[in-house]
């Protein structure tokens, strides 16, 4: 019949150990350590079962131990906010990164299409304009990604990008100027990834680059934007 008292004693100890294990898990102790302790507890119970109930108990104990010793399911990592704010998760859209500036209020007009070429990023890195691409001077990502007016696009694709940019500008009720960032998918579809109501206006930035392509020099561009803003307040020169 075995020794039920032995099983009861070992099980009682195992329950206490299991409580400690759970507490360690809540305190953030390494998962591998916690898992090893859990398996140890189950092993102790299995051994007690085998000793208390003989061969039949050992068989049941072995099955129990095998089941608990299986690698635990690991949930995908969760994005935790680093500040007191929600986390925004966006879908990655494969394709070429296209920027279209828009100027105007009553009749907003698109500028020529500019592409940020991400094709030379290191193998395996997502083709996105991350922090290194934008500001990491001295890094390979910064050095190998360049913006230029997109000269190789079919006319219908240029039209689609520009019409989409103007539609977004109007839908969001933007004013004076903005830059609409899009992805041109391999199948020709367009995905809007950002509406930038205050894009970088440096003389070598994408917005000024597109303005030069449209026939405006940098001084003319800034004058036009100032006049648009002043006109909204009835103070146009």
Name 196's Cβ contacts closer than 8 Å, sequence gap at least 6. Answer: 178, 179, 180, 181
What's the rounded mean pLDDT across residues 224-232? Answer: 94
What's the rounded mean pLDDT across residues 157-177? Answer: 97
Residue 165 CA to residue 157 CA, distance in Å, equals 12
Residue ranges of domains in the chain? 4-69, 96-232
Residues 145 and 118 sit within 8 Å (Cβ to Cβ): yes
Residues 160 and 190 sit within 8 Å (Cβ to Cβ): yes
DSSP H helix total and E strand total for the chain: 7, 5
Predicted confidence (pLDDT) per residue in 100-158, tens digit? 999 999 999 999 999 998 888 877 777 877 767 777 777 777 787 888 999 999 999 99
Predicted confidence (pLDDT) per residue in 170-190, tens digit? 999 999 999 999 999 999 999
What six digits make up the tokens of 193?
């990834």
- Using alpha carbons, select from 39, 101, 96 the residue that is nearest to residue 67: 39
Compute the chain's Rg from CA coordinates: 32
* Structure confidence at residue 181 (pLDDT): 96
pTM of the model: 0.63
Lowest mean pLDDT among 21-25, 41-45, 64-68, 93-97: 64-68
**Where is pLDDT greater, at 145 or 47?**
145
Residues 150 and 98 sit within 8 Å (Cβ to Cβ): yes
- Using alpha carbons, select from 202, 200, 225 the residue that is nearest to residue 99: 200
CATH number for 96-232 (one of 3.30.470.20, 3.30.300.210, 1.10.8.420, 3.40.50.720): it is: 3.30.470.20
- Using alpha carbons, select from 191, 164, 188, 159 the residue that is nearest to residue 178: 164
């Amino acid at each position: 019949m075995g020794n039920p008292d032995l099983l009861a004693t070992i099980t009682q100890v195992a329950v206490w150990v299991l409580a400690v294990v759970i507490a360690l898990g809540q305190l953030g102790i390494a998962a591998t350590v916690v898992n090893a302790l859990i398996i140890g507890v189950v092993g102790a119970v299995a051994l007690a079962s085998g000793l208390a109930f003989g061969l039949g108990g050992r068989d049941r104990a072995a099955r129990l131990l095998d089941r608990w010793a299986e690698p635990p399911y690991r949930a995908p990592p969760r994005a935790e906010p680093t500040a007191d704010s929600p986390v925004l998760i966006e879908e990655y859209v494969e394709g070429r990164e296209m920027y279209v500036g828009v100027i105007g209020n009553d009749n907003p007009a698109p500028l020529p299409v500019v592409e940020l070429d991400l094709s030379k990023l290191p193998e395996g890195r997502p083709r996105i304009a991350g922090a290194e691409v934008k500001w990491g001077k001295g890094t390979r990502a910064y050095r190998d990604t360049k913006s230029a007016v997109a000269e190789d696009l079919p006319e219908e694709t240029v039209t689609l990008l520009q019409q989409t940019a103007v539609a977004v500008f109007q839908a969001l009720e933007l004013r004076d100027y903005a830059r609409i960032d899009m992805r041109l998918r391999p199948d020709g579809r367009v995905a809007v990834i950002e509406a930038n109501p205050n894009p970088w206006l440096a003389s070598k930035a994408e917005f000024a680059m597109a303005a030069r392509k449209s026939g405006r020099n940098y001084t003319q561009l800034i004058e036009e934007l100032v006049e648009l803003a002043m006109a909204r307040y009835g103070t146009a020169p």
